Amino acid sequence: MNIETDIVIIGAGPSGCMAASILRDAGKSVLLVDKNTFPRHKSCAGGLTPKTIAELPFDVNSLSQHNSEKMLFTFTNGKTVDLNNELGACKMVIREEFDNYFFNYVLQKGVEFIHTKVQKIFEDGEGVLVDTAVGTIKSKFLIGADGANSTTRRLITKLKYKNPVFAFEGLVKKENSKKNVPTKFVFNKLGYSWIFPKRDHYNVGIGNLIFDPSCPKPSKKDLYDFVEQELGTEKLEDITGFPIGTEGECYSPMSKRMYLIGDAAGFAETLLGEGIYNAVISGKYLGHAIKDSDNPDCVYEKYNQFLLGMKKELALYNRGAKILYKKQRMSYWMLKLFFGRKFMDGYSAGKTMTEIIKGKYPFPSI
């Protein structure tokens, strides 16, 4: 089977669906390719910040299970900073439901879908050829949106992302918990554990955000210990783990027709492991760049302008993570005395990190 399309997008998560939505609205033919059918599970705590919600092309209210108006941040010395904002710094969704909604939303616009795996990718003078198990796809542009373990990244770049951050998540039914807990992060010197409330359960997780080859990766046992301590139960279900793509400061496109977005590019941040915002915003900018011009030189230039802002934003998060995790005593006092309120209010108002710290929006206007 040979298929022709304007744009082929590998991966139908939030980054791929965002790009698909913008390109389809502009009248382009768009083909999404995913190795899974939907609904599918994706290891994720399902926290959507207000800046993410503001970028989505649909209303998430019907999917929201909780609004985080109260957040607790506990440090290794046992001290906790308690922050509140009535707007809420995060809305909690079930990731399977959110992705399935977004996927069906773009299909309804006329985006095509093929359930298959990519085998080879070639570029010729006129476009891109993608060999899959069901045939060859010919397109003008290719977008790699296939997550932290991206096959597309391996096939179209020489990048070696070697420090993948890894996190486990699972769920505790509220009926099994001995405590009623708001949104909570507990920090250690390599990363964090979290409790994210949903309607009838808590999403709980543990992840390393600082790469240190001399230290062990988080384990399922660490997650059980955390849940026992925080919620007083051993009844933990549906544990899965996955890397988070965080090495995006190294990413530069190697072709003017083939690009990476979201976790495939490494755009998740290392402070609290938020990746959906940068997935969505990178899909948006690349979608607009391709929508505005069929000329690969113009697309390349526009996406690179966006990447300048993205790399600065990621660098800010990386600096913040080193302070938060390595200098906990100082972080506690900084959060307690002034930064906590600034962050809680900034996140609740839908600001990016660059806006919170430097007062300006990091990305070019569209």
**Dihedral over Cα of 150, 263, 308, 300: its sign:** positive
Query: Exposed (0-12), middle (13-18) or buried (19+): which is 149, by Cβ within 10 Å?
Result: middle
329 Cβ neighbours under 8 A, 6+ residues apart: 75, 77
Q: Which of residues 248-287 bind ligand FAD (CB under 6 A)?
A: 262-264, 268, 273-277, 279
23 binds ligand FAD (CB under 6 A): no
Closest contact distance (angstroms) between CB of 163 and ligand FAD is 15
Q: Is residue 79 a contact partner of residue 332, using CB atoms and an 8 Å limit?
A: yes
Phi-psi region of 110 (alpha: psi -120 to 50; beta: other; left: phi over 0): left
Give the count of beta carbons closer than 10 Å to the beta carbon of residue 335: 22
Q: 131 vs 294, which CB is nearer to ligand FAD?
A: 131
Residue nearest to ligand FAD (CB): 275
Among 6, 8, 9, 15, binds ligand FAD (CB under 6 A): 15
Closest contact distance (angstroms) between CB of 46 and ligand FAD is 5
The token duo for 75 is 């440090």
Closest contact distance (angstroms) between CB of 217 and ligand FAD is 13
Among 33, 83, 89, 223, binds ligand FAD (CB under 6 A): 33
13 binds ligand FAD (CB under 6 A): yes
Among 22, 159, 172, 244, binds ligand FAD (CB under 6 A): 244
One-letter amino acid at 129 equals L
Closest contact distance (angstroms) between CB of 199 and ligand FAD is 16
Among 242, 325, 339, 363, binds ligand FAD (CB under 6 A): 242
Within 109-168, where are the H helices?
151-156
Q: Which of residues 40-59 bind ligand FAD (CB under 6 A)?
A: 42-47
Residue 304 DSSP one-character state? H
112 Cβ neighbours under 8 A, 6+ residues apart: 5, 29, 30, 31, 32
Which residues of this protein are in contact with ligand FAD, per CB under 6 A?
10-16, 33-36, 42-47, 117-118, 145-147, 151, 167, 169, 205, 242, 244, 262-264, 268, 273-277, 279
